[in-house]
Amino acid sequence: MHISEGILSGPVIISGWAIAIAGTAIGLKKINYDKIAQVGILSAAFFVASLIHVNIGLASVHLILNGIIGIMLGWAAFPAILVALFLQALFFQFGGITSLGVNTVNMACPALLCYYFLGPLIKGNHLIAIIASFACGFLSVFLSAMMLAATLIFTEKNFWEIASLLVVSHLPVMIIEGIISAFCISFLKKVQPELLPSYIS
């Protein structure tokens, strides 16, 4: 789901960087010392999950894990995702430096929405927690795909067809991420609930 270099228009790039910088600043401010290792591990998981990807036109399809990152980190998802995307662009040319801000926003904003709207549901009974966890994985990818499509369309209306293809091509990823999220969050609730945010018991 990386947008390559040379695709986006100037206003879109600037807007992406502005939002990414603001989100990262807030995220860094909210990270306490005890959470640094967790942020690093989840950033590394995001980095590795995105290495296996399938190119589709101007972007790529791959596991993202931004739903899990959002639930576990909240605002800290911004710096975690930004660092992972920067390293991918630097070492593997996935995405690019100019599109780094937009790529970060496209993946971190849905993660943050999951944190606020689905996170509190995970503290409910087992069935509700599983449904909310699945929705977290599914919707985080869906929203990222929709934001990616909107980014391309704002850059050039002729990108409508490729933007639609990208959203449809991510449907299997949405389901897979939902299953992974449900399994991981349910497992953490049982064995190490302290890794989850304080509103999750």
Q: What is the pLDDT of residues 66-101, one digit of tens each?
A: 999 999 999 999 999 999 999 999 988 878 899 999
Question: How far is the CA of 9 from the CAs of 13, 18, 54, 167, in angstroms?
Answer: 6, 14, 24, 21
**HSE of 176, CA atoms in CB hemisphere, 13 A:** 11
Residue 162 confidence class, pLDDT cut points 50, 70, 90: confident
Assigned domain for 142 exists: yes
Assigned domain for 5 exists: no
* Domain membership of residue 138 as a residue range: 10-195
Q: For residue range 3-55, what is the model confidence (pLDDT) as tens digits?
A: 878 888 899 999 999 999 999 999 999 998 888 999 999 999 999 887 776 66
Assigned domain for 171 exists: yes
CA distance 67 to 135: 9
Assigned domain for 4 exists: no
The answer, as to whether pTM is greater than 0.85, is yes
Assigned domain for 55 exists: yes
Which candidate, 174, 187, 116, places its Cα nearest to that of 143? Answer: 174
Tally the domains of the chain: 1
CA distance 45 to 64: 9
Q: Domain with 129 in it: what CATH number?
A: 1.10.1760.20
Assigned domain for 71 exists: yes
CA distance 49 to 73: 17
CA distance 27 to 143: 20
Residue 108 confidence class, pLDDT cut points 50, 70, 90: very high
